[in-house]
A = this chain, B = another copy of it.
Amino acid sequence: MKIVIIGGVAGGASAAAKARRLSEDAEIILFERGEQISFANCGLPYHIGGDIQDRDALLIQTPEKMHHRFNIDVRVETEITDINPAKKTVVAKHTLTGEEYEETYDRLILSPGAAPFIPPIEGIESPEVMTLRNMSDMDRILATLDNTHTRRAAVIGGGFIGLEMAEALVHRNLSVSLIEQAPQVMAPLDAEMAEPLHDTLRQQNVDLRLNTGVKRFTLEDRGITLTLMDDSLLKVDLVILAIGVRPETTLATSAGLEIGKTGGIAVNRRMETSEQDIFAVGDAVEINEFVSGDPALIPLAGPANRQGRIAAINALGGKAEYRGSQGTAVCKLFDLTVASTGLNEKALKRQGTAYEKVYIHANNHAGYYPGASKINFKLLFSSEGKVLGAQATGLSGVDKRIDVIATAIQADLSVYDLEEVELTYAPPYGSAKDVVNYAGFVAANVLNKSMTQLYSENLPDALEDPQAILLDVRNPDEITQSGAIPGSINIPLDSLRQNLQQLPKNKTIIVYCAVGLRGYLACRVLGQNGYNTRNLAGGYYMWQQSKHCRPVSNTERKVA
């Protein structure tokens, strides 16, 4: 059995190692275009920023080690220029010498990855406009940073790499502009959940430009000028282009492999392409999104590794199926952690899938234990209670909660299960009722109709109704400190029972508090006293967080 693998990072390297574990006899050849295999591509921004000081730390596996340990014939600096599925051969070309030769295969595993997307913008080919995909890209950026004239940088794109690079460049004491065409950074989040990231960026003096893009790059004697969509100019010394990646499908296409509608190489759950004995894995393939089952491109390291293992098992005659990717992801942005899993609201709307949502704003651990900080958490679920996705930001404990939800989604748990999940609790780690439990409680309250929610984006419309009363149940000192929603009246929760006569019964009472908990308690009191109530989801906090992405009410307009 002769297994040929194209691409030596994540998926390819995993496939090679797994294939060897399964078979000592197989001949395994690993082709890699670059100099290195299995380098830590997720670590590149951290070496640029100086957190990882030793460049060699990024070289997880060398061709030599791979050869000694796994008896893999690793051929770096070798590009595969053609695949002939009928003959079961590939054409290999050494990138330096240009030497070409044919290699046969019994099974072929493609792991070509994805390349940074480079849109057709005038001047984008300037050497000052750089992308970050491999060690050479990193070295090129570092060389530019070592030049003392490099003081200002623009990062185009507010995704994972854009954010990590913005932070890295701030660590390098550059003045950084971050340009993002969307109204928010970090597309996996919904807009109202991304505000803490915008706040963090601004606190770190990143010049954040949302809702705009680059029209033109103009090379100057020193540096490069960006002309933005509104014709404003930005002169910098370095541009990092990080607006996303596209699957590398040139080779697959020329070999006649089927390409999916998302633009990735089409594979089945066994990671088989449309051609017999050819598998494909990693960022280049179209997989099924786990929750919806829809075809998707989810270029992440974890899934790539798993797909590599699965392709190797199947290539050697075993039986393994890939379940799909949930898009579980996490990103550090200075002190903030942002993480998500499953579908977001934008995706659910696009798909036309019905959903409910709840917001939790609660401590990462017992509030009385030092260092407590808030986690801002959003849970999406179906009307049957199925968990569809979650998003969270915070200083600590964010990855843990998203990992719990990721596991819950994998297990098809419901929000009722989240109520019961028994998580670790001691004051330094959590609370007896964890954020995840709370999300389950609130979601269950919504589904069993012990509370009717109103979302901030629907508040302006709801307030148009002359029968609506907006009731703030916070304490007066909270209002003095943080303000209130225009048009609200205030009766603190703890004196609500004594002041019911202030509220006419034929009205709809829209209740809010700081984050939603007291609002819920107030709705319980009011509802059982015959009132029609709605609780503002996530309270005043989420109303504020959503201000850039919700309609403005007439009252707000008047007050402004």
Residue numbers of A with Cβ under 8 A of B are: 10, 20-25, 40, 42-43, 46, 51-52, 57-58, 60, 65, 68-71, 160, 290, 300-306, 323, 325-326, 328-332, 337, 339, 341, 366-370, 399-400, 402-404, 406-408, 410-413, 417, 419-430, 432-434, 450, 493-495, 497, 520-521, 524-525, 528-529
Contact = CB atoms under 8 A, between A and B. Distances in A.
29 contacts: A22-B524, A24-B525, A40-B366, A43-B366, A43-B368, A43-B369, A51-B370, A57-B368, A60-B368, A69-B521, A70-B521, A290-B422, A303-B422, A305-B433, A325-B422, A326-B422, A329-B425, A330-B429, A331-B426, A332-B429, A341-B424, A399-B430, A400-B400, A403-B404, A403-B423, A404-B404, A406-B422, A408-B411, A410-B417
Nearest to A413: B411
A520 B69 CA distance: 12
Contacts of A328: 422-425
B369 A51 contact: yes
B23 A528 contact: yes
A411 B422 contact: no
A413 B412 CA distance: 10
B368 A40 contact: yes
A113 to B, nearest CB: 14
Given A330-B425, A411-B413, 5 more contacts: A21-B521, A24-B525, A51-B370, A302-B423, A407-B421
Contacts of A404: 403-404, 407
B424 A71 contact: no
A42 B366 contact: yes
A301 B424 CA distance: 10
A277 B490 CA distance: 40
Contact of A432 (B302, B407, B422, B520): B302
Contacts of A427: 40, 42-43, 46, 52
Copies of this chain held together in the complex: 2
Contacts of A10: 432
Contact of A42 (B69, B303, B426): B426
A25 B68 contact: no
B528 A52 contact: no
A413 B402 contact: no
Contacts of A420: 306, 323, 410
Contact of A339 (B46, B407, B424): B424
Nearest to A160: B426
B330 A494 contact: no
B407 A300 contact: no
A300 B423 CA distance: 11
Nearest to A433: B305
A52 B370 contact: yes
Contact of A24 (B326, B408, B524): B524
Contacts of A432: 10, 42, 301-302, 304-305
A399 B443 CA distance: 25
A419 to B, nearest CB: 8
A426 B304 CA distance: 14
> Most chain-B Cβ atoms within 10 A of its Cβ — which of A160, A325, A404, A417?
A404
State the 3 A-B residue pairs at the shortest beta-carbon distance, nearest first. Answer: A411-B411, A330-B424, A24-B528
A402 B421 CA distance: 12
A528 to B, nearest CB: 4
A406 B429 contact: no
Nearest to A368: B57
A341 to B, nearest CB: 7
A302 B413 contact: no
A65 to B, nearest CB: 8
Contacts of A65: 494
